[in-house]
Structure 1
């Protein structure tokens, strides 16, 4: 199963590294490899969340996510999206924007001798609105999770009270709006407050729209299927399409900071696309499929919780990064720490309760093994 799931990723990695070598020699090969490793190591929470959504889709839409979805992730987010930002920010045409990306100023300067901003500078300057949009999308996802009543809880001492206050209608929107206002007022750089507000509101609208459409067309799942819906209940048709759309926006929100952070390694869009996209994105998708096929989320029931808390942490980090530099290692390692904590406590739970299943019909009061001690 491992080679069947990861075989394509290994093959694509070899091809990407060969292309990188032909494109820029040993240095380009090394940079692409570094970016690929960083993307995989820092995006495990993305894979877990993707798996929670993917297991709700039927086989057809799962294949669409793994084919067309990969193309969107590789070419759309890692190559075309940065070029669109440069195109919009500089007023250059698409060909000129690509030329600007491929021919940076000498010695890594931020500006050309004629005063034009470099590709990297234009991307970095667009970070506040990118972080506001992505941060708001992820924050809404996190808030909807922690305010939703759940049969199984991980941080029970915290999640249970949040579930109780979550009964207040539209609380996620209220909390997210308040955080956006505070971010735009106290964190956003001078002159960027309105831009951050608009981008954040657009992120919220996108989440509500895509998530709402998915729920509107979704089929009713059988009760007691926290380990994943039955085959008959898996989303198809319009429901599958909107779940696919939701997954792509979610993946884009995760990848925003990765694309920006890649410029700490290189500003070459071809190497970024090869490293983050062809290598990193492919492996993240393979990990997602592995989690679904192995039933890992059903076996280790706190993984989904840990991934959502990692999403919440990333959302707040993105908001903070609007006005302050945050190392990509901080956001990545925070997610890794929360995922590992959820995995370890899941293993402890399974060891202490070997006869207890993973279905949602368990006594919720018994699910306090992890962090109540």
Structure 2
């Protein structure tokens, strides 16, 4: 994708359309379930709040997606931004919560759907009980994503130098990020008691193994495509990686949404609207080359990912409102953007000074 001069608002056209359709559906659901204007307005409001929650929690997701997408071929970019968003909206916001209930309650998918429609309180209870293993799994996967970015001996651009330079140098020790995550798993498992401790360890190890499996499978798939054609790199392997990454980001939003409403369909509408804005932001970041222009923006996103992973671990011990998580991530990204702008201004000032010195020297020689 290349910058084609499109205005910023034009990237969000489909997001605006989905927002309008989603809010109308939300209002209709409110009217159907309560038969009152107050009920309709309440559901309408909840859908709006859920959309904002999803955007705030997933802005770092958009940046990481853009980082991966910029190296993918146009064909696979298009596939991720079409099929990938369908999987993200319908798979993670509807199918995933249903699967949790299917596994936790030992019932069929149809029964789970009926339970969501007729007994939303029982459905929400089962979802909340499944929060611990979900937080352990998702937190571990996201922690590996964040640490792998910083533990990279080839990484040359550093935002917070005294931290990142040490991490880059330490990356020569193979498996250091895995050792760090395993140590943290042991710490948190000791803070939990009985069956909860065992559940946390098992789910966290599965999260670690999933990350490693995705890395291996993704590398093999992309390597085989590259062998067939040099232009085919950044294909199916990268696509799978992004889908699992999006799933890990979605865990927190899906579980947190049940604090606002127990209606699965309202949750799907609200989070689906938010997911469309994340998609639009991803396209804009790739198309406009924003990551190259603002050099520390990626760093802010990956720090936000690390914080989110630690928050997910901490949520196995105490409840942390999703608003805090979202604001924390957004603040970090905002600071990294501000640092990038300052860096660009400083570089331009130095360039202007250097240009003036050269012009002065040439004038003196003349």
Q: TM-score range by the shorter chain?
A: 0.7 to 0.9
Stretches of structure 2 lacking an aligned partner (at least 5 in a row): 1-5, 32-39, 352-366
Deviation at 1:215, TM superposition (A): 3.0
Indicate the structure with greater helix content. Answer: 2
Post-superposition CA distance 1:68-94 (Å, at most 9, x none) = 111111111111111111111112222
Question: Is 1:7 paired with 2:13?
Answer: yes
Which protein is bigger by CA-based radius of gyration?
2
Match of 2:138 in 1: 134
Matched, 1:167 2:172: yes
- More deviation in 209-218 or 292-301? 209-218
Which moved further from structure 2: 16-25 or 71-80?
16-25
SS of 2:336 mapped into structure 1: helix
Contact 2:56–2:329 under 8 Å retained in 1:
no
CA displacement 1:313-334 (0-9 Å, x = unmatched):
1111111111211110121111
Query: Counterpart of 1:70?
Result: 85
Please, which of 180, 186, 190 is the counterpart of residue 185 of structure 2?
Answer: 180
Question: What does 1:83-98 align with in structure 2 at a 5 Å threshold?
Answer: 83-98=98-113
Alignment correspondent of 2:363: none
Q: TM-score, normalised by structure 2?
A: 0.86
Q: Alignment partner of 2:195: what SS?
A: coil
TM-score normalized by the length of structure 1 = 0.84
Q: 2:281 aligns with which of 270, 279, 287?
A: 287
**Residue in 2 that maps onto 1:111:** none
Distance of 2:301 and 2:150 partners within structure 1: 12
Distance change in 2, residues 1:274/1:309 (3 Å): same
* 2:213 maps to 1:209: yes
Q: Counterpart in 2 of 1:43?
A: 58
Report deviation, 1:3: 4.5
Contact map agreement 1:42 1:332 (CA 8 A) in 2: yes
The farther-off stretch of 23-32 and 304-313 is 23-32
Could you say if the C-alpha distance between residues 95 and 337 of structure 1 is closer, same or farther in structure 2, counting changes exceeding 3 Å? same
Question: Which one of 146, 152, 158 corresponds to residue 150 of structure 2?
Answer: 146
CA contact (8 A) 1:189 1:322 kept: no
Offset at 1:287?
Answer: 0.3
**CA root-mean-square deviation:** 2.0
Q: How many residues align?
A: 331
CA distance in 1, matches of 2:84, 2:16: 18
